[in-house]
């Protein structure tokens, strides 16, 4: 069994969805957790309660990843609380789907790229500055970066850019024993836009029809891979992008 005893993990956007699942998985494996949220304090308090119930140490830091000064403060508060950071997961992001290229606005473009690109870049930058030697850095990408889907131009583009940074960073700090990888989930059930979408929705059905296994990705599917990348098993895997979609065309 993998263990993260005596490790400290920082996960952005960890009030719900994938970030929550990864934070709770790491806590179950013994890690101390630095949660991050932007606005949803109530959901964050629930995650804190869950993690405390596992016997793990946890703090929650409100920080807007689109503001580099907030990202820097997030890391500083984590270091102040635990003295080190061994694992960083750049997870915070938003979706924009079913919007043709001819229809997106400048406001939509700026918001999505501010969170998904700028937020991820500065999170990864702070991770590079502060992560302990032999640490693990993960970026949560999207299968829209590998299988272009109509209506996903802005979202898929915003998730593509940080993947390039992952490969650069793996080369720049690999000498410290730090690995840098990305996880590329397919559409994740019950999270983001799919938390409010009926399974009978034509788009949902289209995604199911494209999956050989007849289902969407789950948060546990992604947490499994996040566990692998954070463990000693992945100590010589770096600069890689692992697709987690069950062989789906999406």
Supply the residues annotated as catalytic: 141-142, 155, 159
> Is residue 88 within 8 Å of residue 123, measured between CB atoms?
yes
> Is residue 123 within 8 Å of residue 12, measured between CB atoms?
yes
Residues in the chain: 250
Q: Whole-angstrom Cα distance, residue 135 to residue 130?
A: 10
Residue 229 CA, distance from chain mean position: 12
Residue closest to 184 by CA, chosen among 232, 113, 250:
250
Phi (first) and psi of residue 233, to 5 degrees: -60, -25
User: What residues contact residue 185 under an 8 Å CB cut-off, 6+ apart?
Assistant: 18, 140, 141, 142, 143, 217, 221, 222, 244, 245
In the structure encoding, which two tokens stand for residue 35, read together?
A: 């949660």
User: What residues contact residue 109 under an 8 Å CB cut-off, 6+ apart?
Assistant: 154
DSSP letter for 98, please. S
State the number of CA atoms in the 13 A half-sphere of 124 facing the CB.
30
Q: Whole-angstrom Cα distance, residue 138 to residue 162?
A: 11
């Amino acid at each position: 069994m993998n263990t993260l005893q005596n490790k400290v993990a920082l996960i952005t956007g960890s009030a719900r969805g994938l970030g929550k699942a990864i934070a709770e998985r790491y806590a179950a494996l013994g890690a101390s957790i630095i949660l991050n949220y932007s606005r949803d304090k109530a959901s964050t308090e629930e995650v804190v309660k869950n993690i405390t119930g596992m016997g793990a140490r946890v703090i929650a830091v409100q920080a807007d990843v689109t503001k580099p000064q907030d990202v820097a403060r997030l890391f500083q508060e984590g270091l102040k609380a635990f003295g080190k950071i061994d694992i960083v997961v750049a997870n915070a992001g938003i979706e924009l789907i079913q919007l043709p290229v001819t229809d997106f606005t400048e406001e939509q473009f700026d918001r999505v790229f501010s969170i998904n690109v700028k937020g991820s870049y500065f999170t990864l930058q702070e991770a590079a500055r502060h992560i302990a030697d032999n640490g693990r850095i993960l970026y949560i990408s999207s299968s829209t970066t590998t299988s272009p889907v109509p209506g996903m131009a802005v979202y898929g583009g915003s998730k593509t850019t940080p993947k390039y940074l992952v490969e650069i960073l793996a080369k720049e700090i690999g000498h410290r024993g730090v690995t840098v990888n990305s996880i590329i989930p397919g559409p994740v059930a019950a999270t983001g836009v799919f938390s409010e979408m009926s399974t009978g929705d034509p788009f949902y059905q289209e995604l199911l029809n494209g999956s050989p296994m007849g289902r969407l990705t789950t948060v546990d599917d992604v947490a499994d891979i996040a566990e692998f990348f954070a463990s000693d098993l992945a100590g010589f895997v770096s600069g890689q992008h692992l697709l987690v979609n069950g062989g789906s065309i999406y």
